[in-house]
Amino acid sequence: MDMQQSQESQESIVESLDEDHLQMLVQHAYDTDTVRAMEQPLLEQGEPLMRHAAAAVATNVLQLLESFDLDEHARITVLAGAGDNGGDGLFAGALLAKRGFPVTAIAVGRTLHDDAYRTFIESGGHIWVLDAANTIPGCPSEFSAGEAGERFEQAMEFASNSHIIIDAMTGIGAQGALRGIAGSVAQTLGALLDELRAHDSNDDMQRPYVVAVDTPSGIGVNDGSLPGPYIPADMTLMFGAMKPCAILPPACSACGEIWLVDFGFDLESHDPAGSIVGMDLAAAAIRQVMPTDAKYSRGVTGLITGSQQYPGAAVLSTTAAAHTNIGMVRYMGPTRAQDLVLHALPEAVIGKGHVQSWVVGSGVPVRTAEEEADLQQQSIEALLAHYALSEDGSNEEAYAMPAIVVDAGALDLLPDHVPSHVVLTPHMGELTRLLTRLGVDVDEDTVRNQPLQYARMAAKMTGATVLLKGSLTIVVQGGQFADDQVFVAGRAPAQLATAGAGDVLAGMLGAILAQNADLVQPSVPSGDESDHDDEAQVAQAIAEIAGAAAYLHGLAAALASKAKQRGWHRAHLFGIDDLDEEHFPIGRPIVASDVVKKIAAAIGKLQNN
């Protein structure tokens, strides 16, 4: 099958699929076991998936070369591993070599995919081996350590001077950090590419343009981590479905633009490992107001936020909650903060009363071991004590409490075990602090490199739902019976990284929980297995609502800053979308209060879409 045939058959796959399938394709990510399970029936039917994959890579590379005005003198390097990922890369290289481009494959392992290697050589490709113990037919081997070193250096020099690097060292078969020669290649080239990238946008191809095959080599495919050296890509062609690394920080940044090559996988029958929160999910979390509604039926949120030191957080969290489609807010805090809240929001009711959700801790300082808890901290601690579960999960009162958002200073006051309708909203530093308090030996850089793993650890240890804030916000489910599906909100523009943005999010989340009070109330576990599904459902609803709040927060910020740029941009569909370069204006600077002013408009946009 040549490139054109493969492309036509690819296009016919795409055409036969409906909108729902395409929507699932760009919204959900599947772990590597699930991807292998989905590809199996197609391989059994004889679908030449590897040829489709290679044709897609070659097609995009040709378009790139054309857009950069590069003729047949363009130098193309394939970094080829020993597995099927290397096979994809070699077949793609063969297609390009057939078109007359000089293509060199650097073999990082001891073998190469047989068929792909043969086709590559027959098409005029060149091979450069690095491993003296290789058994690749017709290639030099058993060379000295000195020669191996020279070969490595020359290969790196060659690769860094090529126009296109096709990274096909590892894909979904990667296990842990890259080791051996692949590790050294990633170390040398990855560092060089990062440095060149820092100085150059590459509009003029002054550095190699890196096209990753299926996944960038060296990243954590299933958890989005960066466990060691990796090859940062400008573009990743991902086959069949998104893998979690496409949506999870920090690895998703190493993917560059993602191009999804649809293989017609049966996505509907498989559970995603992660999902991007889109407009639909966010809209579903906003309760429609009814003609019969009164303020109480729309939901009331109680806030114990702000402090003598940070009274502004009281204003931001309270105004944000009040603007997020509920009936009323109650505020509790120091007199100075009360006055400021009333000044900004005359509608606020000061003092205790019945609520459908709580927000605690935003703008409340963390408590040092030597300090006495101040009044605000004492009230939060007393409230949180009602959510405490003993090790065996008993304490029925905790399940009957309204959902609660535990932010900033209140994270220090969290009981050891709580139900899933306790939602923690830490940033990376606060998550590190929380885990340290729980006895985990970890620093912030490690959390930043493996955010999913540590957010999950906090959820597993405490039982709470965890919303980890960042340019991409990760939500992991709480409770004992929840599945591992993670939700990622990437709607926010970079302009949202500003003081008080977290206080606004906490208020908005509290309000969205209040208007969905019936959906987010876990029932007391009966010990009966049939109830586990119900509890899992509630845990998922809570996580979705938390993701929705992050989405709405990002959308309001985008409206305020007039930014088109986001933390995560939708993957492109190969054969459907154009390769034309898109520009995402970064918008204008904003402060957190600007976000509050745009919440209503953001809700309107969701509801009218």
Ligand X SMILES: NC(=O)C1=CN([C@@H]2O[C@H](COP(=O)(O)OP(=O)(O)OC[C@H]3O[C@@H](n4cnc5c(N)ncnc54)[C@H](OP(=O)(O)O)[C@@H]3O)[C@@H](O)[C@H]2O)[C@H](O)CC1
Which residue ranges make up the annotated binding site for (6S)-NADPHX? 84-88, 171-177, 214, 313, 427, 503
Residue 167 binds: one of K ion, ligand X, none (C-beta under 5 to 8 A by kind):
K ion
Closer residue to ligand X in complex, CB, 176/291: 176
Question: At CA 575, angle to CA 574 and CA 576, rounded to 5?
Answer: 90
* Residue 207 token pair: 């550095």
Binding partner of residue 173 among ligand X, K ion, none, CB under 5 to 8 Å per kind? Answer: ligand X
Q: Contact at 8 Å (CB) between 286 and 551?
A: no
Asked if 167 is part of the footprint of K ion (rule: CB under 5 A), the reply reads yes
Angle between helices 49-67 and 3-15 (to 10 degrees): 100
Nearer to ligand X, 102 or 264 (CB): 264
Q: DSSP character for 242?
A: B
Q: Give yes or no for residue 46 binding ligand X (CB under 6 A).
A: no
Among 6, 27, 188, 217, binds K ion (CB under 5 A): 217
Distance CA(200)–CA(584), nearest Å, equals 18
> What's the min distance (Å) between Cβ of 389 and ligand X?
40
Q: Which of 59, 60, 77, 85 binds ligand X (CB under 6 A)?
A: 85
Applying CB under 6 A, among 45, 46, 71, 175 the residue interacting with ligand X is 175
- Residue 430 touching ligand X (CB under 6 A): no
214 HSE (CA, 13 A, CB side): 33
Q: Does 32 help bind K ion (rule: CB under 5 A)?
A: no
Contact string 300-339 vs ligand X (x = CB under 6 A) = ----------------------------------------
Q: Does 213 bind ligand X (CB under 6 A)?
A: yes
The residue written with tokens 């890196």 in the block is 210
Select the span of 167-175, 298-306, 453-461, 501-509 touching ligand X (CB under 6 A).
167-175
Under rule CB under 5 A, residue 414 binds K ion? no
Q: By CB under 6 A, name the one of 95, 155, 178, 520 that touches ligand X.
A: 178
Which listed residue (58, 213, 340, 422) binds K ion by CB under 5 A?
A: 213
Minimum distance from CB of 110 to ligand X (Å)? Answer: 8
Nearer to ligand X, 89 or 363 (CB): 89
On the CB side of 361, how many CA atoms lie within 13 Å of its CA?
27
Binding-site sequence positions: 84-88, 167, 171-177, 214, 217, 313, 427, 469-473, 502-503
Determine the interface stretch with K ion among 213-221, 425-433, 484-492, 567-575 (rule: CB under 5 A): 213-221
Segments in 404-529 forming alpha helices (H): 428-437, 444-449, 451-462, 501-515
Judged by DSSP in three states, 322 sits in helix
Q: Which of residues 218-277 bind ligand X (CB under 6 A)?
A: 239-240, 263
Strand pairing of 357-360 and 209-213? unpaired
Is 35 near ligand X (CB under 6 A)? yes
What distance in Å separates the CA atoms of residue 512 and residue 534, rounded to the nearest whole number? 21
d(CA 318, CA 504): 8
Q: Which of 78, 80, 82, 549 binds ligand X (CB under 6 A)?
A: 82
Residues 6 or more apart whose Cβ sits within 8 Å of residue 371: none
- One DSSP character per residue, 436-457 reads HHTT----HHHHHHSHHHHHHH
175 is in the binding site of which of K ion, ligand X, none (Cβ under 5 to 8 A by kind)? Answer: ligand X
Say if residue 526 is exposed, middle or buried (CB neighbours under 10 Å; 0-12, 13-18, 19+).
Answer: exposed
Point out which residues pair with 21 in neighbouring strands: none
Cis peptide before 250 (omega within 30 of 0): yes
Q: Does 216 bind ligand X (CB under 6 A)?
A: no
Give the 3-state secondary structure of residue 473: strand
Residue 170 touches ligand X, criterion: CB under 6 A:
yes
178 binds, among ligand X, K ion, none (CB under 5 to 8 A by kind): ligand X
Q: Which does 233 bind (CB under 5 to 8 A by kind): ligand X, K ion, none?
A: none
CB nearer to K ion: give 167 or 430.
Answer: 167
User: How many Cβ atoms sit within 10 Å of the Cβ of residue 559?
Assistant: 22
The H or E element spanning position 241 is: none
Q: Which does 217 bind (CB under 5 to 8 A by kind): K ion, ligand X, none?
A: K ion
Number of CB atoms found within 10 A of residue 226's CB: 22
Closer residue to K ion (CB): 31 or 430: 31
| DSSP-derived 3-state class of residue 368 | coil
Segment 510 to 549, residues that bind ligand X, using CB under 6 A? none
- Cβ nearer to K ion, comparing 29 with 599: 29
- CA distances (Å), 441 to each of 429, 447, 460, in order? 14, 11, 16
Could you list the residues known to form a binding site for K(+), using ranges: 85, 167, 217
Q: Which is nearer to K ion, 213 or 541 (CB)?
A: 213
Ramachandran area for residue 393 (φ above 0: left; ψ -120 to 50: alpha; else beta): left
The interface region with ligand X, picked from 49-57, 127-135, 441-449, 461-469 by CB under 6 A, is 49-57
**Pick from 561, 564, 566, 565: which is nearest to 591 by CA?**
561
Binding site residues, ligand X, CB under 6 A: 35, 39, 49-50, 53, 81-88, 109, 170-180, 182, 213-214, 239-240, 263
